[in-house]
Structure 1
Amino acid sequence: MNKIALLKGFLLGIIGSLFGIFIFISFFTPYSFMSGIQIMKSQGSLGKLITLGSILDLAIFAVLLKLNKDFIARGVILAVIALTVLTLFI
């Protein structure tokens, strides 16, 4: 049961980060989603974009702790750690 909850949290964290990236590109840049990602990658700012998208995971984590879903919240933290490692190599 704990592994499934951890996997749910991991997927929720990755989806939350992707949604945060989508929100940032849609509202704060004049580009569409895919062209915004390509432009950020060509400028070398893809790591910063992933970091900004991960801010939404903080809210997800707080809500999960409020609902006493500790193992799912651990999965969200695992997703943030995985994205951090990914950001270091981009």
Structure 2
Amino acid sequence: MNKMTKEILIGFLIGVIANLAGSYLYIYFFSKETLEKTIQYSIEQDVLGNIIALGAILNLCAFFIFLKKNKVYRARGVVLATVLAALAILVSKFL
């Protein structure tokens, strides 16, 4: 595995983790129910995509931190993770 691919993969993993952490933080601070109940309710009410989108806000922070540190390939990985989140939102809305 070359250096570029490794850096993109690191950025992708950080982007996915940041999105999951952002979604968890949103549920933790704004939901009165447990994590499991909130996710079940959001699936039933078809708002899971909204929670994923709000969780992606942390990807913006990671993206700009990587750009500031001149880690362009890691920033590309974060963008790739954001595209994956957008596809997850698309699937949750239409399926």
TM bucket normalised to smaller: over 0.9
Gaps of 5+ in 2: none
| Offset, 1:34 | 2.0
What amino acid maps onto 2:62 in structure 1? I
Rg larger for: 2
Q: Answer yes or no: is 1:85 the counterpart of 2:87.
A: yes
Alignment of 1:1-90 (within 5 A): 1-90=3-92
How big is each residue's C-alpha offset from its partner over 1:60-90, in whole Å with a ceiling of 9 and x where there is no partner? 1111111111100000000001110111111
TM-score by length of 2: 0.91
What is the identity percentage for the equivalent residue pairs of Structure 1 and Structure 2?
A: 38
Deviation >3 Å, runs of 4+? none
Gaps of 5+ in 1: none
TM-score by length of 1: 0.96
1: CA distance, partners of 2:61 / 2:79: 12
RMSD between aligned alpha carbons? 0.8
